Amino acid sequence: MRVEDPTALRCEPEHGCITCGDEAIALRVVTVDESGLALCEDELGRHTTIEVALIGPVAPGDGLLAHAGTAIAQLPREEVPA
């Protein structure tokens, strides 16, 4: 079972909802499971689960741009969050 980080990305109305705002976020892939879900990390070390079916195979260390829990684009190597 995947364990989510308690500080994972959330939709917070007090601080603006990134999903409602049509905002996408840069993430780094940590692990990928066989069902097409990837555990990812943002630049602050927060973890979230992302659907990667739209961008093809990804591997740990790859960068992606995610919106509403789904990766919508891959990022060039130099733009992957550290």
CB of 80 to another protein, least distance (A): 8
41 binds another protein per the rule CB under 8 A? no
Q: Does 19 bind another protein (CB under 8 A)?
A: yes
Per residue, the 3-state secondary structure of 40-71, as one string, reads EECCCCCEEEEECCCCCCCCCCCEEEEECCEE
Residue with tokens 């049509």: 22
Tokens encoding 8 = 């994972």
**Contact residues for another protein (CB under 8 A)?**
9-13, 15-24, 26, 37, 43, 48-49, 51, 53-56, 65, 67-70, 72-73, 75-76, 78-79, 81-82
